[in-house]
Structure 1
Amino acid sequence: MSAAGEGSAAAGAAEELRRRIASAGLLPGERLGEVALAAELGVSRNSLREAFTALAGEGLVVRRPHRGVFVAAPDADTVRGLYRMRRILQLGALEQGWLTPAAVARLERAAEILDDDPSPRRLGDANHLTHLGITDLAASPELTRVMSSVLARTRLAFHPLDEQTRLHALFADRNRWIVARLLAEDLPAVRAMFGDYLEEAEAFVLQHLDGSAAAQVSDVPA
């Protein structure tokens, strides 16, 4: 395969793995077996290694010497950084953006899920679409690509909150309201509440992470 072909294959593999992480198809700490995964994705091992390098640069996977590549498990400092990025990207999009065709398509997909009595995981999918839809308001594919990676890392922090808590159920009604107001082109109303929304979500995730860390410490023999 040519160098251009290898690069295209690597980019495609990275995008597919990013999509799986964002949809909770790959879980924090999961080992990514190179041979099996390359065959599954239909790419060479060299292309897959390039994809791993790209994802490692985004903080989505980590390489552990002599052990392999693993899906990242965000810690509290990482979560704080992700929410700082979200405030900048999403509040900026709400301030400067407009209802683009890309945003409409994404938000309508979120609405379909939210109206279908979804499972916790599907509520997470709707949440992901809602927040990407907000970023689509900026009419910048580059910002949407950045946000896609940020949200994929955020989704890793959400797991296993999807099953152990009512995280997405707690925010489902607000997500329905956000989707409805954005589709009605009422961006100022969403922006007025969105800072508090992110602050509450961040606090919820950090509380869970702090509790998990404390539990792990208590399980260590004295």
Structure 2
Amino acid sequence: MQTLAETVAGSIREKVISGTLTPGSHLSEIALCEELQVSRNTLREVFRILTKEGLLRYEANRGVFVSTPSMSTIIDIYRVRRFIECPALAQAHPRHPAAQRMRAAVDDARRCREVKDWLGVGSADIAFHSAIVELADSPRLSNFYAHISLELRLVFGLLHDPEFLHGPFIDQNGEILIELEAGRSTSAAEKLEAYLLRAERFILGAYARVASST
């Protein structure tokens, strides 16, 4: 059973996932205590949990902030993603239940694109790649990847044009899924590796442009 601090930590994680809290956001103890109806001691325990996870950072005399990923963090995230996602996909059976979740995520992304809900597209993209990890049937890998997904959302939050960020990759997810559904898992994994390399270069380029303009 979760403690109150763990439950509240989950609520703050959801704010990061939804884009409500973006990298660099300052977290006010007073405002959050009132919003979440918890004591300062509980909130400080929440901050300790999320700081240990790397989601928040503490600055002396300034307070607590949502972490801002560095360029080296982005490179490491994509290295880890290739290590986890590509083998999971290469060894997958096309009728694995997670393949249905991949299909649902692709369909969700396309629906969100039609109404220009680009944050929704980002959430669908993360759901698609989380489902790829589920193909490995490893709860430990899935739990680990859930943390990577949070860091990835922080990376997305750095870039202020979600259409530019997510638009090019919607149909590429669909192409990867087509290969898997046709039983060509090796080809799907090759497409995924190329996709992740392109995405890494794309995001690093966008990150560099944002950094140079600040």
User: Do both share a fold (TM > 0.5)?
Assistant: yes
Query: Which of 147, 150, 172 matches 1:149?
Result: 147
- Partner in structure 2 of residue 172 of structure 1: 170
8 Å contact from structure 1 (residues 29, 71) kept in 2: yes
8 Å contact from structure 2 (residues 91, 186) kept in 1: no
Computed over aligned residues only, the root mean square deviation of the Cα atoms, in angstroms, reads: 2.5
Give the fraction of aligned pairs with identical amino acids, expressed as a percent.
33
Q: Which runs of 5+ in 1 are unaligned?
A: 217-222
TM-score, length-scaled by structure 2:
0.85
Deviates more, 1:79-88 or 1:149-158: 149-158
- Partner in structure 2 of residue 74 of structure 1: 69
CA distance in 2, matches of 1:160, 1:182: 32
What is the 5 A alignment of 1:1-222?
A: 8-98=3-93, 100-101=96-97, 104-105=100-101, 107-116=103-112, 117=114, 118-161=116-159, 163=161, 166-182=164-180, 186-216=184-214
1:149 is displaced (CA, Å) by 1.6
**Cα gap change, 1:101 to 1:40, in 2 (>3 Å):** farther
CA distance in 2, matches of 1:202, 1:162: 17
1:61 is displaced (CA, Å) by 1.1
Runs of 4+ in structure 1 off by over 6 angstroms are none
TM-score, length-scaled by structure 1:
0.82
SS at match of 1:159: helix
**Cα gap change, 1:164 to 1:134, in 2 (>3 Å):** closer
How many residue pairs get aligned? The number is: 211
Give the letter aligned to residue 140 of structure 2. Answer: E
